[in-house]
Amino acid sequence: MTCLVTGGAGFIGSNLAEALLERGDRVRVFDNFLTGRRENIDGFAERFGGAFELLEGDLRDLDAVRRAVAGVECILHQGALPSVPRSVADPVLSNAINVDGTLNVLVAARDAGVRRVVFAASSSAYGDTPELPKRESMTPNPKSPYAVQKLAGEHYLRVFHSVYGLETVALRYFNVFGPRQDPKSAYAAVIPAFVTSVLSGAAPVVHGDGGQTRDFTFIDNVIQANLAACEAPAGACGKVYNIACGSRISLLDILESIYELVGRRIAPRFEPARAGDVRDSLADISLARKWLGYEPAVDFAEGLARAMDYYRAIA
C-alpha cells in the first residue's frame, strides 16, 4: 500500500511512518518542519530506500497538498499545530493549519481518488464534561481553540464521507506519549517535561494542584489503531473512535512513578493551572474494539519505562 503521512516528521507521524515502512508499505512524508524534526526521520532513506519519500510543504498550500496526495491509497493525517497552550496563544495560526489544512487534505483526497483518510482527532473535544468515561456519543464541549479545531476536523471528515463517499476514520487520541516526543519545546507535554526535569535534577513544573487525571496512551497503541483504521471494513468509516487505554492516572502519581524509575526525588514547583486544560479524562474504548479490533498492548507502566529509556539515551 502507498501511504501519505502528513506531519510525518513529528512525534506521532514519524513513529507511524516507520511502522508502515517496516511492514513493507511505501510511505510519503509531508511536513513543513514547523514543529516536526528532521532527526525524527534521519536514516529512513538509507534504511528503506525508494519506499520512503520526503516532500517538504505546508498544509495551508492546497497545490502542495495535491502534489502530496498524488498516487496515494491511504492518508494518515497527523499534521497539525499541536498543543492547547499554543492554540490559546495563537488561535489564528493554529486554526489555519488545523482546520484549513485538514480541509485541504480532504479536498485533495477527494479529487485524487484516495481510498481512505485517517485523521488524528483529539480527546480535548470532550472538554470538562463531568461524566466519565468519555464516550463518542457524548456531546462535545471543547474549551480551547485547539479542541474546537480538532472537532471541526472530525465534522469535515464525517461530511466528506456522507456527501462525497470518501472513506474517513477519526481517531480521538488521549494524551499520547513515548519516544520522539520533544521535551525541549516550550509547549512540551507533561511526561517528557517531567522526565527530563527529574533526570537533570531540576524541579518538575506542575500546573494546578497535580490531581488532574489523564488516560495516557503509549505511542505503540496509537500506531496499532492507525494501522487497524487503514484496513477496517467500510462500515467502520464515517465514525469517531477513542484511542486510549481505558485507565487514568494523576500527574502527581506520574511523578511518583518517575521518581521510582530514576531513583531520585525532586520536589515539584507548582504553578497556576493553564487556560484550556481539562480536569479529568478517561476513555471508553469499546467502540474502537468493536469496529477496529483495537486492543491497547502497552500499559502505562511499561510505556513510561520505555519512554524513560529513550530520554536517558538522548540526555
Buried-state track 39-70, b at ≥16 Cβ within 10 A, e below 16: ebbeebeeebeebbbbbebbbeebebbbebbe
Yes or no: say if 124 and 146 are a contact pair by the CB < 8 Å rule.
yes
Q: What is the DSSP annotation of 38-65?
A: GGGTTTHHHHHGGGEEEEE--TT-HHHH
Say whether 146 is catalytic: yes
Q: Which of 126, 146, 156, 173 is catalytic?
A: 146
For 187, the grid coordinates are 509547549
Q: How far apart are CA 251 and CA 213, in angstroms?
A: 6
* CA dist., res. 161 & res. 147, Å (int): 21
Residues with active-site annotation: 146
